[in-house]
Chains A and B, each alone.
Chain A
Amino acid sequence: MSTQPEPDPGAHPALDRQDIAHLARLARLAVTDEELDRFAGQLGAVLDAVARVQRADAGDVVPTTHAVPLTNVLRPDVVTPCLPRDVVLAGAPAAEDGRFRVPRILGEEE
């Protein structure tokens, strides 16, 4: 799918297991074989249904990103206290020396 830059309007490529696996990887989501099979069928049906938006005659229409047109919402530049560090870290799965402890972020070869 990633080799097709512009999908044909009104049509769409079906999502196969490989596509689902690729999208899941992009979304940092491990998926089981059984899920790949199930999601490929279900998401294909959903995609068929939502592809109807392409029928709308909306060529020059300005997209709406938000229901309320607010721009440049700023707050006063005043320092206010943030949450205490120990309170925040109390909810973390792992903490050490006053910081979040995380798994290795670089591979062996890096």
Chain B
Amino acid sequence: MSDLTALPVTALQAALASGETSAVEVTRAHLDRIAAEDGDLGAYLHVDADAALQRAGEIDASGTAGTGLAGIPVALKDVFVTEGVPTTSGSRILEGWRPPYSATVASRLHDAGTVLLGKTNMDEFAMGSSTENSAYKVTRNPWDRDRIPGGSSGGSSAAVAGRLAPFALGTDTGGSIRQPAAVTGLVGHKPTYGSVSRYGLIAFSSSLDQAGPMARTVMDAALLHEAIGGHDPRDSTSIDAPVPTVVEAARRGAGGDLSGLRVGVVRELGGEGARDGYDPGVLERFTEAVALLEAAGAEVREVSCPAFDLALPAYYLIAPSEASSNLARFEGMRFGIRVGDDGSRDIDEVMALTREQGFGPEVKRRIILGTYALSAGYYDAYYGQAQKVRTLINRDFLAAFDDVDVLVSPTSPTVAWPIGARVDDPLAMYAADLCTLPASLAGVPAISVPCGLSEGLPVGLQVMAPALSDDRCYRVAAAVEAAQGAPLADRLAERAA
């Protein structure tokens, strides 16, 4: 059998179903690669090899391996709580905590028969675009190990791109699935808000957080999406609607025919007059990707969404405001670490010391900013105004989707930057989210699919669709993937060989 870590999930399914390999062999191949590579890559925060092999053995014994996702290993971003398995959300404040329950998406993957390889590194509480805000370690980009893997789901992107997992779950609040996928040559999809359960997802910004798949191929991402999607009564924001048929859409898109599909290129995201901060190489790959869509039969036109220009300031008011409230639960009383409880200090002092030592600088900055934006006298000018801008962004999407079926843009204005280049400049870090924020604020689905290399580093195309039309994202992404011949991620393996 060829290198099992190089195969897409679809090929692993076939090999498991035919008995050509076993869940134990597939799991061991990935664990061996983790042992060999992760000391340098730093994708995982927690791996329990014995538990993974035992679980794989159970799947083999049950005779279900190869049925659906049974026997396929998977990695989870450390933001998902997993019963009995350490979960930190990248923060010191949860060091050593073993949750008493599992996130709905983790339970669904378990019930589907997947094998949990481990928990992946992330920016603390998912705040960041480079994974450098992790309290634990630096994660490296497998394409160039001196560069960032994107963020905040950078452990998941590095694990999948580096073949330390076949696919992984990430979460996306302002771009944290799409941007790391783009800069590591992966497919990453942020589903429609409310279409994947948030139960057991450690909250950063509740009106924006959404879990989704990261994979090396569009079809693999679709398989993972269908396994986690659907209504969950334990999440009160969960939409009671069928999961979009994304696997079917990926299959259809791979046929390469986009006849009749109307595609809008968003002028405000890298178009004429809006190119400040974009790498020329990113814009070239984007232009070529749009040409591919046209060649596949799509009708392409330019669309203007003027309110998108205010997505970044609106997001950096709304997300910190919600975070300052959500993170109040980390006070050192019920879970995680407690600092300074020596009998001489009262509860307020102990909470303040615990949070001082438990949180890193970016989390503190956002808590302070959010506390400010929500404070009396400033609420209307900041948080209230940001919510109105959110309405304007929604309107731009609705108007655009009257004329076109999907909107496209680059996923990230730049390729992966060198580790350390933006750590002391929060605004430079925030600029990485420029293209991904509008879909987050409107709650619409958006996918990033690789569209080539610039300076030897991956570039992503973003495809946005109306709410609950996630299938359109997958269809277009699959057509782009097919038009390029082979998944971009395969080129990394070839380069290493």
Contacts and interface: CB of A to CB of B under 8 A. Distances in A.
Interface in A49-90: 49-56, 58, 61-68, 70, 73, 75, 83, 87-88, 90
B368 interface: yes
B418 interface: no
Which of A51, A52, A53 has the largest count of B CB atoms less than 10 A from its CB? A53
Contacts of A105: 346-347
Q: Most chain-A Cβ atoms within 10 A of its Cβ — which of B313, B384, B392, B426?
A: B313
B369 A43 contact: yes
Contacts of B98: 90-91
Contacts of B369: 43, 46-47
Contacts of A25: 352
Contact of B313 (A19, A39, A52, A90): A52
Interface string B415-449: 00000000000110010000000000111100000
A42 B100 contact: no
B385 A56 contact: yes
B371 A26 contact: yes
A32 B352 CA distance: 11
A49 B313 contact: yes
Interface in B203-233: 207-208, 233
Contact of A30 (B352, B365, B394): B352
Given A24-B368, A26-B371, A105-B347, A49 B316 contact: yes
A58 to B, nearest CB: 4
A108 B98 CA distance: 36
B285 interface: no
Nearest to A26: B371
B237 A58 contact: no
B347 A46 contact: no
A46 B365 contact: yes
Interface string A1-20: 01011110100100100011
Contacts of B359: 29
Contact of B355 (A7, A28, A65, A90): A28
Contacts of B208: 67
Contact of A91 (B97, B348, B430): B97
A83 B83 CA distance: 12
Contacts of B233: 75
Interface residues of A, number: 63
A93 B93 CA distance: 11
B99 interface: yes
A75 B341 CA distance: 40
B388 A9 contact: no
B212 to A, nearest CB: 15
A48 B108 CA distance: 44
Counting contact residues on chain B (CB < 8 A from A), the size range is 35 or more
B334 interface: yes
Contacts of A55: 310
Contacts of A30: 352-353, 355-356
Nearest to B385: A53
A30 B328 CA distance: 14
Given A93-B336, A107-B346, A29 B364 contact: yes
A76 to B, nearest CB: 9
A67 B372 contact: no
Contact of B332 (A58, A70, A90, A93): A93
Contacts of B332: 93
A106 to B, nearest CB: 8
B426 A12 contact: no
Contact of B239 (A39, A47, A68): A68
A110 to B, nearest CB: 10
A55 B314 CA distance: 11
Interface stretch (B21-29, B41-49, B375-383): B375-383
A7 B365 contact: no
Given A46-B365, A61-B391, A66 B207 contact: yes
B156 interface: no
Contacts of A91: 97-100, 334-336
Contacts of B361: 35, 38-39
A35 B347 contact: no
Contacts of A46: 316, 365, 369, 426-427, 430
B386 A53 contact: yes
Please provide the 7 A-B residue pairs with the shortest distance between their CB atoms, ordered closest to farther: A67-B443, A63-B387, A93-B338, A30-B356, A58-B388, A30-B352, A64-B390
